[in-house]
Amino acid sequence: MAKVSIIGAGQTGATTALWLAQRELADLVLVDIVDGMPQGKSLDMTEAMPVVGSDVKIRGSNSYQETSNSDIVVITAGVARKPGMSRDDLMATNGGIIRAAVSESLKVSPEAIFIILTNPLDAMSYLAMKVSGLPRERVIGQAGILDSARMRAFVAMELGVSVQNIHCYVLGGHGDNMVPLTRHSNVAGVPLTDILLPERLDAIVERTRKGGGEIVSLLKTGSAYYAPGAALAQMVEAILLDRHLIVPASAYLEGEYGQSGIFFGVPVQLGRGGLERIIEYVLTDEERQALERSASHVRETIAGLDG
The domain segmentation of the chain, as residue ranges, is: 2-141, 144-303
Q: How high is the pLDDT of residue 306?
A: 53
Chain centroid to Cα 181, Å, comes to 19
**250 contacts 141 by C-beta, under 8 angstroms:** yes
- Domain 2-141 falls under CATH 3.30.465.10: no
How confident is the model at residue 88, as a pLDDT? Answer: 64
Q: What value does the CA radius of gyration of the chain take, rounded to a whole number of Å?
A: 19
Q: DSSP per residue over 187-253, as a string? A: ETTEEHHHHS-HHHHHHHHHHHHTHHHHHHHHHSS----HHHHHHHHHHHHHHHTT--EEEEEEEEE
Name the DSSP letter for residue 111: T
**Mean pLDDT in order along the chain per 10 residues (307 residues):** 97 98 97 98 98 98 98 92 68 90 98 96 96 98 96 98 97 90 95 96 96 94 95 98 97 97 97 98 94 94 76
In the prediction, which pLDDT does 307 show? 47
The Cα 70–Cα 109 span in angstroms is 5
Strands 260-271 and 274-278: antiparallel
Catalytic option among 167, 174, 244, 297: 174
Residue 297 annotated as catalytic: no
Specify whether the backbone of 297 is left (phi greater than 0), alpha (psi in -120 to 50) or beta.
alpha
Smallest Cα–Cα separation from 205: which of 138, 268, 271, 154? Answer: 154
In the beta sheet, which residues pair with residue 75? Answer: 7, 116
Give the right CATH number for 144-303 from 1.10.10.60, 3.30.565.10, 3.90.110.10, 3.40.50.1820. Answer: 3.90.110.10
146 vs 212: CA distance, rounded Å: 10
Amino acid at 113: I
Do β-strands 113-116 and 72-75 pair in parallel, antiparallel, or remain unpaired?
Answer: parallel
Backbone angles phi, psi at 290, to 5 degrees: -65, -40
Cα torsion 124, 129, 131, 134 to 10°: value is 160
